[in-house]
Structure 1
């Protein structure tokens, strides 16, 4: 019996270590987000189930719940409207349907709405009617702006860089600094864009950035080429080389978040001078 128990423990441990860890990422289904919003607005579960069974009818409470749900999933903001790279993850087009994107776009271009709730609701209904089947799977929820900044700040803190490096970063001298590849590794793994088990997650990057180039076969071919070229390099070096050769167009964005985070840690956003620093020149364990 002891031998069987040991085997079971080893099997469970192996399953755990082979799976991607959650880190800072959130995965959520449309239905989960919908129920969460119902809780925010004190809508009973029986009513929520009715709304789902009736395919989200055009009632004012449903409009309010749909807007909340899309915000909850990072798929909507009132200034820019719906984010296709996010909401499309929750729908699967019918096999053989080659016109779903065009029909959805035409619906979005021609929809009528009279308030914020209606605009979000009508946008959702365009996808619901024309894009495909609404699925129940959890999907990656992109970070809001403040969450991206927190991701950079936490990653920078985890990396535990020397104070003079933080000063250098807050001045904008980042990408050529020797510690940056390790910091980039922490940030991308924690953010759900890279996994030590499965490598680059271009789908999550696309959901976050909405850049179609990330799903272009050329991008994956570039990544595979670097992996082959750097097969004997350590993982951090391989990741950094891939970033430079295949994903370098996103470098300025990452550097901006790192610079802002470094300014926060240094304590003087203007001059990067050791004034009221969180660390006072030393790391405290």
Structure 2
């Protein structure tokens, strides 16, 4: 463990399987699909002068798939981590945002519905997958994104976290000048955080990453509330 704290990771079965376990828990590793780039990238800080870090990392990953036992998940997770450690950048020492699984997102949405006392009429609409443009819907979305760590009262949406949240379908359009300009315009023009979040969800984020995933989460949360009564 002391060696790992010094960024030294021995080439032995215990270390390899430990890294796989860490990767599974932090969601940067999947035994079926491999390394989740949108997640693991957040744990490394590239050198601003290194313009080839991404290409070098990708080359290393491709080479690692051709070496050793490709059915050994511990080996593959270990080699993938080393590629990022050696080529992508320095390990970030502070805690990083981790995407929630969908069951946790549903619980967050359900808590928001209960705290905001969303009326039954609106819940019935949500259960059908309909999200009327109403104050209840707008403030529900603000609560959800705020509690999910994707939105800040002071700075607005965190597009890096949104990109990481959608690691299964990473979408670089989150970082596009057009997306950032639209978010800045909404923040400057609405003067109301509930409206800002709702319009961003509807008009900016809706089809990015995992399309309308938040709508599916809200629908499931409303259905769960129905089962409580």
The aligned counterpart of 1:95 is 48
The aligned counterpart of 1:142 is 99
Alignment partner of 1:240 is 2:193: no
Alignment partner of 1:208 out of 158, 162, 165: 165
Write the distance in 2 (CA, Å) between the matches of 1:54 and 1:205: 28
TM-aligned CA deviation for residue 177 of structure 1: 4.9
Q: Deviations over 1:64-88 (max 9, x none)?
A: 1111111222211212211111111
Change (3 A) 1:265 1:51: same
Assess if the C-alpha contact under 8 Å between 2:29 and 2:36 holds in 1: yes
- Any runs of at least 4 consecutive aligned residues in structure 1 with deviations exceeding 4 A, and if so which? none
The aligned counterpart of 1:55 is 8
TM-score with structure 1 setting the length? 0.72
Secondary structure, aligned partner of 1:249: coil
Secondary structure, aligned partner of 1:139: coil
TM-aligned CA deviation for residue 193 of structure 1: 0.8
The unaligned stretches of length 5 or more in structure 2 are none
The aligned counterpart of 1:83 is 36
Secondary structure, aligned partner of 2:207: helix
The aligned counterpart of 1:107 is 60
TM-aligned CA deviation for residue 248 of structure 1: 2.6
TM-aligned CA deviation for residue 167 of structure 1: 1.9
Write the distance in 1 (CA, Å) between the matches of 2:202 and 2:7: 50
The unaligned stretches of length 5 or more in structure 1 are 1-47, 268-277, 280-285
Alignment partner of 1:254 is 2:214: yes
TM-score with structure 2 setting the length? 0.88
Change (3 A) 1:116 1:138: same
Residues paired across the two proteins, number: 220
Alignment partner of 1:191 is 2:148: yes
The aligned counterpart of 1:120 is 77
TM-aligned CA deviation for residue 56 of structure 1: 0.5
The aligned counterpart of 1:170 is 127
Write the distance in 1 (CA, Å) between the matches of 2:145 and 2:25: 22
Assess if the C-alpha contact under 8 Å between 1:51 and 1:62 holds in 2: no
Q: Which has the larger radius of gyration?
A: 1
